Amino acid sequence: MDHPSLFRQLRQDSSLWKSLSAAKQCEEVGKWFAGRGWKTIGTGAFACVYRRAGEDQVIKVFPLGVGAGESTLAYLRSCRRGTNPMMPRVDGLTTVGRVGVAVMERLESTGGLLTVHAVAEDVGRYFRARSRNRRLNRDDLSEQAVRGEGRHFQVKDLSRLVSTLRTIRSQTPGSRLDLNQSNFMLRKTPQGKALVVTDPLA
């Protein structure tokens, strides 16, 4: 996908929406993508995800300045800079008016994978431990998550993810952890399916 060109076109057309609220601008951006063949494949409390036939990437659109917009933007920036396999791959990220737009890898639903619940608990447990400056180790993981390790995630990557979340929370007042099954997805790898944390903050 030629996302730089796509972003340029979007910025040119976005002048029509400058006076609208962030939520309305987000709606207009969604319509803009829909007019170019992108279909809605997922919606959350704040963001929408679009996919177009023949593309192996998706587009995430979210309003800025309201709700989880700022923490979402900060997390996606970290995803673009980093190499943590528990974070989604972000190839393009921009802001247009009061809207954030990201070009991301396409992931799979967890389909009710049981390990997701354990990982969500473990991220929260790790986060609290780091807040108390406790050393993180394998013993902090639930039995179910340990059984899943090697197939779905690695302890070191979970620890790095928690460090990233701590930094973002310190820089975006009012943000909080938002870990539930809908915020985890799966990436296909040669070793099997790996867990990816898509929207850990609100």
Cβ neighbours of residue 134 closer than 8 Å, sequence gap 6 or more:
none
Q: How open is the CA angle 134-139-143, to the nearest 5 degrees? A: 135
Q: Are residues 80 and 116 in the same domain?
A: no
Find where tokens 């993810």 sit.
161
**Domain presence at residue 12:** yes
Range of the structural domain that residue 91 is part of: 3-106
Two tokens, residue 79: 């995803």
Find where tokens 């990557």 sit.
157
pTM of the predicted model, to two decimals? 0.82
The predicted pLDDT at position 162 comes to: 80
Counting the structural domains of the chain, the total is 2
> Using one digit for the tens of pLDDT, what is the confidence trace for 49-86?
999 999 999 999 999 986 688 999 999 999 998 789 88
Q: Are residues 92 and 40 in the same domain?
A: yes
**Domain presence at residue 58:** yes
> Using one digit for the tens of pLDDT, what is the confidence trace for 102-159?
999 999 887 765 455 566 566 666 556 555 555 545 444 444 444 444 456 677 787 7
Choose the final residue of a domain: 79, 106, 133.
106
**Domain presence at residue 202:** no
Q: Are residues 129 and 77 in the same domain?
A: no
**Domain presence at residue 27:** yes
Q: Give the chain's length.
A: 202
**Domain presence at residue 56:** yes
List, as one string, the DSSP characters of 134-197. PPP-GGGS-HHHHHHTTTS--HHHHHHHHHHHHHHHHHSTT--B---GGGEEEEEETTEEEEEE
